[in-house]
Amino acid sequence: MKKIIFAITVIMVAILSAGCTHITPKTVVKAYVKAIQKGNAEKAADCFYYEGTDEEKEHKRSTMVSLCQKGILSMQNEHDGIKSYEIVSVDKEDDKATVHVVMIYTDGAAESKEIHTIRKGFKWYLDSNK
């Protein structure tokens, strides 16, 4: 049960799509949540920032894909998926930001999440260290 909760937290903490340029904390969170809504663990994992050598980065990304897949399945089983979401606020300080999101699940449940982001260069990513 703890692993499932951890996976969901990782997925939610970290939300949106890898195909676009994430120029604000909001855009990366939107891309992440949309990827999770669609059940696309690959795109969700692409929203995170990974440090290290190319090999280390790929290993970390692969691990994140697995965590996202588990979290998506768990969320589907527990709440039937994400119906909608709302970004409530963004607390930004230098190259870090916390995005406050309210998730509305298909079963009617609602949950507030804090998603930590980090800027590297001109792009924003979900912070895989949080």
Domain coordinates in residue numbering, the chain: 2-127
Interval 17-60: pLDDT, tens? 334 468 999 999 999 999 999 999 999 999 999 999 999 999 99
Given this model, what pLDDT does residue 125 score? Answer: 97
pTM for this predicted structure: 0.80
- 3-state percent helix, strand, coil for the chain, nearest multiple of 5: 45, 30, 25
Scan for tokens 């909608």, then name that residue: 84
- What's the CATH code, domain 2-127? 3.10.450.50
SS3 state of residue 91: strand
Amino acid at 17: S
